[in-house]
Structure formats: structure tokens, C-alpha cells
Amino acid sequence: MKKTFAIGDIHGCLDQLEDLIDRIEPGKDDLLVFLGDYIDRGPDSSGVIDFLIDLAASMPCVFLRGNHEHMFLEFLEFGANKAMYLANGGMSTLESYLGPDQFVSHSQVVQKISEGHRDFYAGMKWYYEDQSYIYVHAGIRPGVAMYSQERHDLIWIRDEFVSSPTEMKKKVIFGHTPFAGPLVKEDKIGIDTGAVYGGALTAVRLPGEVFIQSHR
């Protein structure tokens, strides 16, 4: 039976990502849905993107946009929100592309982003649905149909979503808000377990809702 694996926030933690994929052992017909926040804070953001690009060449993958990718793209495209981006762990990503102590301007980073990485960032989705689940980075505005959701909410919402019933027929699988362990509610499952803060990187296997975690 075809399985779907949703994977939480990676944040540059390449070792944990490699370990988790080994533990998942996905089949060639399975689907991997990554919930965003591949970059920032952790030690090897560019290496994570390389790994994900290679993985997508060998099996079906869906890559969702997280708020950290959104901030990075705004910085790359417009040089915008530099202070906010750096305050949210962006320097580790810039250094992963440029090397330590090399960052001066956003134009330096733009020149270092390969075409493959540009295509990866350009291809990220805001959310994904199958017959039973909605996959999104941060969550949704409760009571609002998916076609009417604000993109800002999809990558930034937190307490209003986590603490309120979604009023959706499908269960929502999300990241963004870190928990000590997976959050399981009747209408939602949260799988950001703080990999970059010393926690595990978590995946959930669907259907069945079985959790798999990195051990590194």
C-alpha cells in the first residue's frame, strides 16, 4: 500500500535528516511531504537543500514553503527585511552558501545560489492536500476554506490555529510550532519537535499516523 510520510522542520540539520530518511526507508511509490523550514539556525542549510534535490530525483516529494524560506526569498529578491531575517537565524544560511565571516550584502548571496537551488525554492507549494489530510507549514485560519486562506497565515499562524478547532473535514498536518513530542489532536497533528534545539526530527507515516524520529 502506498504510504505518505510528512516530515517536520529541518532547519539546516542535515545529519538528522539523513538519519530520519534511513529510518523511514521509503519505497519508490511512497510520497514524502516536507512541511517547510529547511534552512536557517542549523549548521548546513545549503547541504539540506542539496540532499532534498537529490532525494526528489529518486522518488516523489512535495516541498512546502515555510516562513524561513519566505524570509530568505524576500531577502534574495529585494534585499528586504534583512534585520528580521538575520534575527531569525538567517546568518547560518548565508554562511552555508558563502562560508563563515564572508557576508557583506545580499548580492553576494544571490551570486552563490545555483540554478538548482533557485528552482527548488521556486517550486515550493503553499499547502498540499490528499483525500484525508491537509499539509501546511504553520497551520490555517480556523473556519476559513482552503481557497480563501491568507498565505501569511499558512506560514506564520500559531496560537489561533493550535488552540482552536479547524472546522475542516480533513486533519491538518503541520510544523512551525515546536513541541517536546508530536502534538496529536482530533483535527490536527504537529510534528515540529525542535530538531535544531536538540530535539528529534520527526516524521508521521500516513495512513496509520505512526511517528518516526531521528536518533542523531
pTM of the model as a whole: 0.95
The burial of 161, by beta-carbon neighbours within 10 Å (0-12 exposed, 13-18 middle, 19 or more buried), is given as buried
∠ CA 128-143-170, nearest 5°, is 40
Give the pLDDT score at 147.
95
Give the pLDDT score at 8.
98
Give the pLDDT score at 111.
86
Q: How does strand 127-129 pair with strand 61-63?
A: unpaired
Q: Who contacts 116 (Cβ-Cβ below 8 Å, separation ≥6)?
A: 53
Give the pLDDT score at 104.
63
Give the pLDDT score at 106.
74
Per-residue pLDDT of the chain (216 residues; tens, 9 = 90+): 799 999 999 999 999 999 999 999 999 899 999 999 999 999 999 999 999 999 999 999 999 999 999 999 998 887 767 888 888 999 999 999 988 777 667 778 888 899 999 999 999 999 999 999 999 999 999 999 999 999 999 999 999 999 999 999 999 999 999 999 999 999 999 999 999 999 999 999 999 999 999 996
The burial of 200, by beta-carbon neighbours within 10 Å (0-12 exposed, 13-18 middle, 19 or more buried), is given as buried
What residue ranges define each of the domains in the chain, with the CATH number in brackets? Answer: 4-213 (3.60.21.10)
Q: What is the DSSP letter of 172?
A: E
Give the pLDDT score at 213.
98
